[in-house]
Chain A
Amino acid sequence: MTIEIAIILIPFIMAALIPLFYRRLQRKFIGWIVLVIPVSLFLILTTYIPRIANGEAFSHTYEWIPSFNINFTTYIDGLSLIFSLLITGVGSLVILYSIFYLSMKESLHHFYCYLLLFMGAMLGVVFSDNLMVLYAFWELTSVSSFLLIAFWHHRKASRAGARKSMTITVSGGLSMLLGFLMLYTMTGTFSIREILENVDKISEQALFIPALVLILLGAFTKSAQFPFHIWLPDAMEAPTPVSAYLHSATMVKAGIYLVARFTPVFGGEMIWFWAVTGVGLITLFWGSFNAVRQYDLKAILAYSTVSQLGLIMSLLGLGSVAVHLGYSTSSVIYTQATFAALFHLINHSTFKGALFMMVGIVDHEIGTRDIRRLGGLMSILPFTFTIALIGCFSMAGLPPFNGFLSKEMFFAATVKITKLDIYSIESIGILIPVIAWVASVLTFIYCVIIVSKTFLGKIKPDISEKNPHEAPVGMLISPFVLIGLVIIIFFFPNILGEYILRPAMASVYPTFPLAEMTPHIHPWHGFKPELFMTIGVILIGILLYRYKKYWMKIYRIFPQQWTLNAIYEKVITSSENMSESITKRYMTGNLMHYFVYIYVSFVVIVAGTFLVLEAFTWDPSSDAPVENYELLLVFVAIFASFALLFAKSRITAVLLNGVVGYAVAFFFVIFRAPDLALTQLVVESVTTALYLICFKYLAELKPEPSSRKTKLSNGLISILVGSTVTLIGLAVVNYEKFNSISSYFEDSYNLAGGKNIVNTILGDFRAFDTMLEVVVLFIAGLGVYTLIKLKASKKGDADT
C-alpha cells in the first residue's frame, strides 16, 4: 500500500473507528483526536509540493476489477495537489473550529464520522485517475453532504435542504456517469490520462459532444451553477463549520476540479467555451444579484459562494480558448485565465472560509444571523469584526488582500478575450467584461452590507440586554489563520504561483511549455483597463449602496411562481403525486392481485422464452418406464390438489396441502434423493405446524365473493402456470441450448472434496446462492419478528 492510497483510506478507517471507541472517550476529546487526521495528512501532502513543483507526478495502481478496466489508480499532479491541500488544510481548521462551535450535547460522533467520510471521499475524487472510482467517490461526497446538511434532522428545513441538494447533485452525477461511459466507449479506457493521450482520435466521434454536455451537467450541479444553484442556499441549514467546509471551500469546488481536469479533453470545442464561460458568468451575476437582497448572513454568503463559483467557472471557460488555439507565443496569454481561476480558487477558500466562521461566531454569541436585528457589533466582537472586514474587502476585490489580485486578473482576462475573433466572440464578446463588471459591483455592495449592517451603526436593544461577549480563543484561531493567509498571499503571491499554481497549469495544458504559463503576479501593473474597472466598481458600488432603497424595487419584478425554487418544488411534488397514483394503482393490498402479477410474469417470461428460442424439446424414448406405484402417487397428489379447491375449512386445506407435499417427498425417495426427501418431509411438517399456529388469527374461511370473470381468468392463469411448469419438467431432460454443468457435479469428490453431490452443490459449487439464501432467510425471519412485535407494541401504546 502506497502513501497515496493510504491518504484516501485513513479518513475512512477513522470514520469507521469512531463509532467503536467514542463511548469510552470523554466527549471533548473526540474532536481533538479527529483533528490529528487532517493535520497529519496536510503535512504529508506538503512534502509533495517541492517534488510536484519539479514536474514529477505520483501514480500508483492497485488492480481492483481488472476485467472491467476498473483499477484503483491514484494520481497526484499539480491540480489534484491544490485541491487536496485545500481539503486537508481547510478541513483541519474547520475541525478545530467545530470543537468549540458544537455543543458537547450534540451527537459529536456522528458529526465527525460524516466529516471524515466526506474528507476521504473528496480526496478520492481528486486523486482518482479511474473515472469509475472517481464517480463512486463523487457520489459519496453527495451522500456525506446529505448527512451533514441533515445533521440537525429534527428541523424540517434541514431535511428539506438535504434532500434538495441530494436530488440535484446526484442527478447531475448520474448524467456525468453517462458521460464517462460514453468516453469509455470512445476510448476503451477509464483512465483519465489514457483518455488524454487519445484526444485527437475522439474529438471527431458522434458521442463526443453528448459526453461533453453530460459531464458538464455533473460539474454544474455539483458546483451550484445556474440554474442548479438553488440547492446551495438551502444547504446552509447545515452547521456553520459544514457550510464553511463543504459548501464553500471543498465539495462545491469538485465541479471546478472536473472542468479543469477535462479542459485538455474538451477545451478545444466552442460549445465548451460558451457553456462554461456563459453559465459561469450568469451564475456570477445571478448569485451576486440575489445576495444583495438577503437578510440572513448565511444566505448572503451562500449566494455569494454561488457567484464566486461562477467567477471561477467562467475563468476556466475563458482559459479553454488556449486549448483551441494551440500553443503559440500569442495564444499563451489566454492561459492566464486558468491561472487566475486556480488562484481565485485558493483565495476564495481563504476569505470565504473565514467569513463563514465569522458568521458562525455571530450566530453563536448573539443568537441570530438576521441583519435586520444585528448592528453595532464592532465594539462587542472586535476580533470578529476584523475577520469580517478583511474577508469582505478581499471578496470585494480591494487591496491589500488576495481577492484584489485575482479579481484584477479576472477583469484582465475578460477584457483580453474580446480581442479574439473566433467563436463569434467579436459580436457578443463585449458582454463578457460587462457582465463581469456589473456582477462585481453587486459583489461590492453585499460585501458592504455584511460589514455595515452587522458591525456598524447602533446596537439593537434586545442584543445589548443579553450582554454578549467575544468568542473563545479557540473559535478565533481558525478564521485568523485564514485571514492571515489572505494578507500573506497578497504580499507574496508569486511563491504560491511558483510552487502550487504552476504545476497545476501543467495538468490543464499538458502541451504547453510550463515556463511561459506562469505570469508574475503584481499588485500594480500600470493604468490598464482592469484598474479602471476596479475603481469603477468601488465608486459605483458606494453610490448604489447609498441609494439602495431606490432601486431595490427591481427584485419585485420577477413573479413569485416562476422562481427556480418554485419550479423545482412543482416538479418534485407533481412527480411525487404521479408516482403515488401509479403505485396505488397496482399495490392494491390484495394478495390475490399480487399472485396474479407474479404468475402472469412467470408464464410470460418462461413460456415466452420457450416460444422465442424454440427451446421446447421432448424425447420420451430414453425415459425409464413408469411403474404402477408411481402412477398411484401421482393420482394421490392430483386428487389431493383437486380436493384442496373444494375444502370448506382451513384444517382440511392445510392437511390436503400436506398430502401433496408428502407425495412429492415419496417421489424423492423413489428416485433415490434422500437429501431432498428428508428436507421436503421436515419442511412440510414445519409448515403444517406453522399454519396450525397461525389459524387462531385468521377469520373463518368464506367462499370468495369474486365475479365469474375473475374466477375464469384466475383459472386460466393457474392452468397456464401448471402447464408451463410441466413443460419445463419435460423439456429439461433433453435441453441442449447450453452445455450441461452436471459433469462438474459428477466430479464432486475431486473438485469439492465431498461425495454427496447435493451437499457439494449447496456448500461449494453454488455456495454463493446458499450464502445469499441464508441472508434472505434471516432477513425474512427478522421481518416476521418485527412485523409482529411492532404491531404488538403499537397496540400497547393505544392501551395506555
Chain B
Amino acid sequence: MKINDVILRTVVRGVVFIILTLGVYLFFSGHNAPGGGFIGGLVLGSGIVLLYITYDLETVHKRMPFDFKKVAGFGVLLATGSAIGAIFFDAPFLSQTDVYYTFPVLGEKHLTTVTIFEAGVALTVIGTLVTIILSISEDE
C-alpha cells in the first residue's frame, strides 16, 4: 500500500533542519547550559531516524553515506580514548582539563577536553540509535 505522505515530506524537509540544528546547539551548549553529548546525540539521532521514516533508505543513504555501526564504534573509541589519553599526561584516568583561548575572529572561547569525550558519547548514541532502528525496520 502506497500512502500519500506529501504533507509529512514537506513538513519534515523543514523540520529536520530545525531538529538537527537544535541537536548541534545542544551538543555545544552543554557544560554551562542545558545540553551535552547524550541529549545532543539523541536529538540528532532522532532527526536522522525521522528522515529515514519519511524518505526511503536509498535516498537518505545517498546523502548520508555513513555506516552507523562504524559511527557508534568510532564514538566508543573516542570516549574511551579521551579517557585513556589523560594517562599519558601523568593525570589519573578520565581527567579532563579546560582552557580559555582567544581565536582571531571568534574571540575568547572556552575549550575543554570534555568536549572530545562528549563527542564520543554523542556519536555512540547517534550510531546505536540509527543502527537499531534501521536493522529492525530493514528486516523483512
Contact = CB atoms under 8 A, between A and B. Distances in A.
Contact of B136 (A674, A683, A784): A784
Most chain B beta-carbon neighbours within 10 Å: one of A686, A770, A774: A774
B34 A777 contact: no
Nearest to B120: A774
Given A675-B34, A759-B36, A784-B136, A686 B114 contact: no
A686 B30 contact: no
Interface in A676-692: 678-679, 682-683, 685-686, 689-690
Contacts of A674: 34
B135 A763 contact: no
A609 interface: no
B6 interface: no
Contacts of B135: 784-785, 788-789
Contacts, number: 145
A781 B72 contact: yes
B31 A759 contact: yes
A778 B76 contact: yes
B21 interface: no
B45 A675 contact: no
24 contacts: A678-B34, A678-B39, A678-B43, A679-B42, A689-B49, A689-B53, A690-B132, A697-B139, A753-B98, A753-B114, A754-B32, A754-B114, A755-B32, A755-B33, A756-B31, A763-B36, A767-B117, A770-B38, A770-B79, A771-B117, A774-B76, A781-B72, A781-B128, A784-B132
B131 A781 contact: yes
Nearest to B50: A689
Nearest to B78: A774
B37 A693 contact: no
B23 to A, nearest CB: 9
Interface in A55-94: none
A758 interface: yes
Given A767-B94, A774-B121, A781-B132, A675 B46 contact: no
B122 to A, nearest CB: 10
Report, as a range, how many residues of chain A touch the other chain. Answer: 35 or more
B31 A753 contact: yes
Best-surrounded residue of A679, A685, A686 (most CB of chain B within 10 A): A686
5 closest cross-chain pairs (CB), A and B: A781-B128, A754-B31, A674-B34, A753-B98, A755-B32
Contact of A763 (B49, B117, B124): B117
Contact of A767 (B30, B75, B96, B137): B96
Given A764-B114, A778-B72, A755 B39 contact: no
B36 A758 contact: yes
Interface of B: 26, 30-39, 42-43, 45-46, 49, 53, 69, 72-73, 75-76, 79-80, 83, 93-94, 96-98, 110, 112, 114, 117-118, 120-121, 124-125, 127-129, 131-133, 135-139
Given A675-B36, A771-B79, 6 more contacts: A679-B39, A756-B35, A756-B36, A762-B38, A778-B75, A792-B139
Contacts of B112: 753-754
A675 B31 CA distance: 11
B35 A675 contact: yes
B50 to A, nearest CB: 8
A768 interface: yes
A763 B37 CA distance: 9
A694 interface: yes
Given A686-B49, A771-B83, A756 B72 contact: no
